[in-house]
Amino acid sequence: MAVGGLGSSLLLMSGVVVAVGLCRRLTRRRLRSHPRLFAFLVEMFSTFQICACTNELSLLGNVEPKPHTALTLTYGFTVLHGLTLAGSTCNPCGTLQPMWGGRTSLRMGGLKIAAQFVAAVLARVFMHFIWSLEMAEPHFGALSQGCSSPMQTTEMQAFCIELLFSVVFQLAVLRSESVNPKYRVHLIALLITMLVYAGGNLTGAVFNPALAFSLHADCFYDKFLSYSLVYWIAPALGTILVAFIWDEIFPRIS
């Protein structure tokens, strides 16, 4: 893939980040007095940014040198998301964890999860529209790929991988809460990059149900049971396991 194609993708993703930043700022100024609508829109805009950028990044996996370029982009944009989307989880599992511990109400948690899946659909529709214009090299033929079959292993192994990665990620998020935010974002980004390197060729290493749906909606349509088990249920179980350990086991040990 030519450098010009990479540059076009980077420009597109930067535009998405800027647009979402403006939307979040406008929402904060105008809707603070409407907490539920405010929470829904902020979470939706934030999740849209992650899903849209990751959809575009998924087209850049073959940029040379492999896999260094893809991993560098993963790290860089994860840091960018962490810096620009402070206060949003952008992951149903990240919302489920405080719901399980009673720190978020069922109504507010459900509202945020709904916002995340709405954003996942909107991001997919938006990116497919952009790709259909074929204005950049990475977009040529992107819509003809259909289900990209991210599962390159057995269903049981894929389930275990996504569950394990969800456990590791959620534990890291909880353990790093006391770390200075300017260092924490790099630690989380490094962990995500390492998990993508370790399991990306087997399951895609998503551990985010909304993002998985945005990336692989065609696969969910073709094999709903398998993909919902691996990309929805496994991360959710991992999150519940972490919440139980964190709230019930660790306090007794300490």
pLDDT digits (tens, 9 = 90+) for 195-205: 999 999 999 99
pTM: 0.94
CATH class of 2-252: mainly alpha
Residue spans per domain, the chain: 2-252
- Kindly report the number of other CB atoms within 10 A of residue 234's CB atom: 25
Considering only CA atoms, which of 8, 228, 2, 203 is closest in space to residue 117?
228
What's the pLDDT tens digit per position in 51-72? 999 999 999 988 888 889 999 9
Q: Where do we find the tokens 């893809």?
A: 70
18-46 burial, b at 16+ Cβ within 10 Å, e below that, comes to eebeebbeebeeebeeeeeeebbbbbbbb
Cβ neighbours of residue 238 closer than 8 Å, sequence gap 6 or more: 93, 162, 163, 164, 165, 166, 167, 170, 207
pLDDT at 61: 84
- Mean pLDDT of the region 17-40: 95
